[in-house]
């Protein structure tokens, strides 16, 4: 029997596609900015598609052609005029236009593994923002418990779900190795795809992340000539503190002098 096993983008959607906590925040920011929007690390289009469906003109970049192809496959024909997806590196992109809002959502900025990479990205962000435009960066904060596991890498069970298109069962587990000195973590995501007749295919996705402290981020933004407006601890815009699950930094490119 031939089985259609899922691709990694399909598994990413199964994992995160129903996450909606951040969507009202991005729609609120889009209303405030009232202009073209750019998402860095657009992935399978979870946020960008929502904004395009709401009527906004949205650009999204990602380094993965497979992720972009999957995002395009989910876009209705009536979105093609206002959803623009391009393969590009967030450290070195050039889109020849200005944006009212640029954002890196859901920990996308964590994939930049050195301060130099982060600085390069933020310089490109500034160059692509219109004067007065906003940059929003949603990070996972550096917490003490991030490093408790060290390099022991135990395996954790995350979930078992059914893939809607095929009825195949997928079980996700993950392991983590952390390096506190480098503020670095490697997460190995393991997807076991189980067909109705018991055949199993394992798909492994290794993700390298670098965690950034609040004041590191604020310093990087200042160096890129972006002004920090506020730092929030959740999608309801509660103040950031040492118990926050998220670190959402809002910064602005200054208006040009008259």
pLDDT in the model for residue 180: 82
pLDDT at 150 over 70: no
pLDDT band at 167 (very low <50, low <70, confident <90, very high): confident
Question: Alpha carbon of 203 to those of 118, 166, 175, 187: distances in Å?
Answer: 29, 16, 14, 14
What mean pLDDT do residues 170-180 have? Answer: 92
pLDDT band at 151 (very low <50, low <70, confident <90, very high): low
- CA 248, distance to chain mean position in Å, is 12
pLDDT in the model for residue 223: 98
pTM of the model: 0.94
DSSP strands (E only) in 26-82: 37-40, 58-62
> What domains are there in the chain, each with its CATH number?
8-140+211-252 (3.40.50.150), 144-210 (2.20.25.110)
Q: Over pLDDT 90: what percentage of the chain?
A: 81
pLDDT in the model for residue 154: 82
Q: What is the C-alpha separation between 209 and 112, in angstroms, rounded?
A: 7
Lowest mean pLDDT among 65-74, 185-194, 214-223, 249-258: 249-258
pLDDT in the model for residue 148: 56
pLDDT in the model for residue 75: 96
pLDDT at 147 over 80: no
What mean pLDDT do residues 222-240 have? Answer: 97
pLDDT band at 143 (very low <50, low <70, confident <90, very high): low
pLDDT band at 3 (very low <50, low <70, confident <90, very high): low
pLDDT in the model for residue 16: 95
pLDDT at 118 over 80: yes
What mean pLDDT do residues 97-110 have? Answer: 97
Lowest mean pLDDT among 42-56, 108-122, 139-153, 176-190: 139-153
Lowest mean pLDDT among 30-34, 49-53, 106-110, 150-154: 150-154
pLDDT band at 15 (very low <50, low <70, confident <90, very high): very high
Query: Could you tell me the two tokens for 56?
Result: 């906004």
pLDDT in the model for residue 257: 73
Q: Over pLDDT 70: what percentage of the chain?
A: 94
Contacts of 74-83 with C-beta under 8 Å, sequence gap 24+, read 74/44, 74/45, 74/49, 75/45, 75/49, 79/49, 79/52, 79/53, 82/52, 82/55, 82/56, 82/57, 82/58, 83/45, 83/48, 83/49, 83/52, 83/58
């Amino acid at each position: 029997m031939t089985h259609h096993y899922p691709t990694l983008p399909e598994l990413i959607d199964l994992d995160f596609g129903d996450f909606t906590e951040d969507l009202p925040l991005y729609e609120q920011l889009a209303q405030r900015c009232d202009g073209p929007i750019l998402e860095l690390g657009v992935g399978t289009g979870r946020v960008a598609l929502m904004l395009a469906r709401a009527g906004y003109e949205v650009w999204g970049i990602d380094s993965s052609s497979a992720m972009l192809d999957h995002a395009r496959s989910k876009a209705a024909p009536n979105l093609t005029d206002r959803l623009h997806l391009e393969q590009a590196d967030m450290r070195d992109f050039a889109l020849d236009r200005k944006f009212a809002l640029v954002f890196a959502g859901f920990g996308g900025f964590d994939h930049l593994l050195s301060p130099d990479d982060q600085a390069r990205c933020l310089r490109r962000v500034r160059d692509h923002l219109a004067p007065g435009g906003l940059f929003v960066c949603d990070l996972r904060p550096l917490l003490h418990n991030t490093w408790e596991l060290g390099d022991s890498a135990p395996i954790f069970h995350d979930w078992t779900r059914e893939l809607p298109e095929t009825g195949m069962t997928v079980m996700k587990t993950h392991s983590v190795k952390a390096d506190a000195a480098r503020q670095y973590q490697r997460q190995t995501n393991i997807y076991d795809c189980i067909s109705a007749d018991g055949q199993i295919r394992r798909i492994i996705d290794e993700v390298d992340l670098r965690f950034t402290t609040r004041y590191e981020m604020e310093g990087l933004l200042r160096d890129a000539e972006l002004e920090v407006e506020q730092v929030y601890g959740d999608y309801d815009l509660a103040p950031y503190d040492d118990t926050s699950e998220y670190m959402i930094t809002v910064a602005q490119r200054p208006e040009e002098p008259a």
